A and B are shown apart, each in its own frame.
Chain A
Amino acid sequence: MDKLSVDHLLGIKYLNANDIDLIFKTADHFKEVINRPIKKVPSLRDITIANLFFENSTRTKLSFELAEKRLSADVINFSAGQSSVKKGETLIDTVNNILSMKVDIVVMRHGNVGAGVFLSKQVNAKIINAGDGTHEHPTQALLDSYSIREKLGKVKGKKILIVGDILHSRVALSNIFALQLQGATVKVCGPTTLIPKYISSLGVEVETNLKKALEWCDVANVLRVQHERMDIKYFPSTREYTQLFGINKQILDSLDKKIVIMHPGPINRGVEITSDVADSNQSIILNQVENGVAVRMAVIYLLAQQIKR
């Protein structure tokens, strides 16, 4: 059996195509496990995992915690809001204190770009990046690709559109890396102010006309506008954004094919996507959430396999 080529999951850009393939094959087995009457395997019963969330999260944190518990790992949770971080403790001190309690794997979300990479060089534990600022969110990209593979049979050769706030989105960047690694073509669509300047250097085309972009693609991954990361105004009003870049039933019905709709959540219903689209049979949003647990189980399992006692 193949091994992962990396010691930590810090970003998709450090992975190769074989790693993604291995993660997906392992996730297939875990997807079967989480659909059993008893959804738990004892593989990681001697592993302790710390979930360090320095930024807010609902879905990712729950998904990771569930994945860890389904693998029988011991889990400790940490949220920056209720911690000594507010008292001025540094990241390394916080993590080292937690590690001295004998933790094997750290799942971390942090507001600063590169926090995971930094940590992996300083501490002796496996690091899984659960989102670092506007940089990468590797497990989200993996579960997105896994869901496309499940829905369409394969990712290779498919045309994937990412719509919305690309500039502030770690999901977009990780998705671009993951999809290209698997041989898909990626285009982005959104207000020009929310599309980063470097995007063409990644081999990604930009389309500012939503209708044209939707006509091109097989799958549209719709992203939320991240108001919390915006320090200036990037577009005149939410209403105008919705009119130009919101996905609604009318625009989908006007296409001559049925495209797949994805959203990493949280959804702002009526802003980037309307309720009738989000809840339609074209949407695989809830499948993404289910697959998230299986994919995260696979990542944790494969990394835990490298830990030697």
Chain B
Amino acid sequence: MSKKILLNSKDIEIILHRLACQLIENHNDFSDTVLIGLQPRGTFLANRLSNLLTTAYNIPKLQKGLLDITFYRDDFRRRDEPLAATSTDINFLIEDKKVVIIDDVLYSGRSVRAALTAIQSYGRPKNIELLVLIDRRFSRHLPIQPNYRGRQVDAINEEKVLVSWKETNGKDAVYIEQK
């Protein structure tokens, strides 16, 4: 099993700054915008981006939520392992808001499909955008594309993209692993 480094911590930092700037271009002061991190892996990216926007780019009031999509997945009872739910933390309504869904890796698009259904439980958003760190572009099962992407990757199905975050794994890095 070989593991190749795709992005190191410096690359990730540059990408985070670029994504933050792209968001600011489209969302100005974020007064109408909410960031929604997908549980569990998308929350690290959402937290990083929101911290960066508040500290480095002086966005004062940023609304951020965490969304669990377990109950909306389309593979319920189709897997051997039971699905474990994580918590949802959205303490605001998204009615008429611009929503940015944030996840670390976009692969089949099924998680995003579930998130699009799940988010409707909190109201009717004005629009929804998708931000991902890694876009595995030839692996999609559904017609879903990101609005903001950190890096596009042409990984084949036998390969696995691993995102490691300082908060949990000790350092920021993205790897490609041969299964």
How many chain B residues sit at the interface, stated as a range, is 20 to 34
Number of A-B pairs, beta carbon distance below 8 Å: 53
Q: Does B82 contact A (CB under 8 A)?
A: yes
- Segment at the A interface, from B20-28, B30-38, B45-53, B116-124: B116-124
Residues of the A chain whose Cβ atoms lie less than 8 Å from the Cβ of B72: 41-43
Asked whether, in the complex, the Cβ of A307 is within 8 Å of the Cβ of B71, the reply is no
Complex partner residue of A1 from B71, B83, B117, CB under 8 angstroms: B83
Bound complex: CA A37 to CA B122 (Å): 6
* B 145-164 binary contact with A (CB < 8 Å = 1; else 0): 00000000000000000000
Q: Does B5 contact A (CB under 8 A)?
A: no
Q: Is the interface of A mostly helix, strand, loop or mixed?
A: loop
Bound complex: CA A304 to CA B118 (Å): 20
- Chain A residue with the shortest CB-CB distance to B71: A41
- Chain B residue with the shortest CB-CB distance to A4: B82
Which A residues, 130 to 187, have Cβ-Cβ distances below 8 Å to chain B? none
Q: A29-B87, A41-B72, A42-B72 are in contact. Are A3 and B123 (CB under 8 A)?
A: no
Q: Does A40 contact B (CB under 8 A)?
A: yes
* B 67-86 binary contact with A (CB < 8 Å = 1; else 0): 01011100011100111110
Complex partner residue of B121 from A3, A37, A44, A307, CB under 8 angstroms: A37
Residues of the A chain whose Cβ atoms lie less than 8 Å from the Cβ of B85: 26, 29
* A 278-309 binary contact with B (CB < 8 Å = 1; else 0): 00000000000000000000000110110111
Asked whether, in the complex, the Cβ of A42 is within 8 Å of the Cβ of B82, the reply is no
Asked whether, in the complex, the Cβ of B71 is within 8 Å of the Cβ of A42, the reply is yes
* A 32-50 binary contact with B (CB < 8 Å = 1; else 0): 1100111111111000000
Residues of the A chain whose Cβ atoms lie less than 8 Å from the Cβ of B77: 304-305, 307-309
Q: How far is the CB of B89 from the nearest CB of chain A, in Å? A: 9
* A 3-32 binary contact with B (CB < 8 Å = 1; else 0): 100000000000000000000001011001
Asked whether, in the complex, the Cβ of A29 is within 8 Å of the Cβ of B122, the reply is no
Q: Does B178 contact A (CB under 8 A)?
A: no
- Chain B residue with the shortest CB-CB distance to A309: B77
- Chain A residue with the shortest CB-CB distance to B88: A32
Q: How far is the CB of B80 from the nearest CB of chain A, in Å? A: 10
Asked whether, in the complex, the Cβ of B121 is within 8 Å of the Cβ of A36, the reply is yes
Q: How far is the CB of B73 from the nearest CB of chain A, in Å? A: 8
Asked whether, in the complex, the Cβ of A305 is within 8 Å of the Cβ of B122, the reply is no
14 intermolecular pairs with C-beta atoms under 8 Å apart: A1-B83, A29-B88, A33-B71, A33-B121, A41-B71, A41-B72, A42-B72, A42-B117, A43-B71, A44-B76, A301-B71, A302-B82, A305-B76, A305-B77
Which residues of A approach B to under 8 Å, CB–CB? 1-3, 26, 28-29, 32-33, 36-44, 71, 301-302, 304-305, 307-309
Which residues of B approach A to under 8 Å, CB–CB? 68, 70-72, 76-78, 81-85, 87-88, 93, 117-118, 120-123
Those 7 A-B pairs whose CB atoms lie nearest each other, nearest first? A1-B84, A41-B71, A38-B121, A29-B85, A43-B71, A36-B121, A1-B82
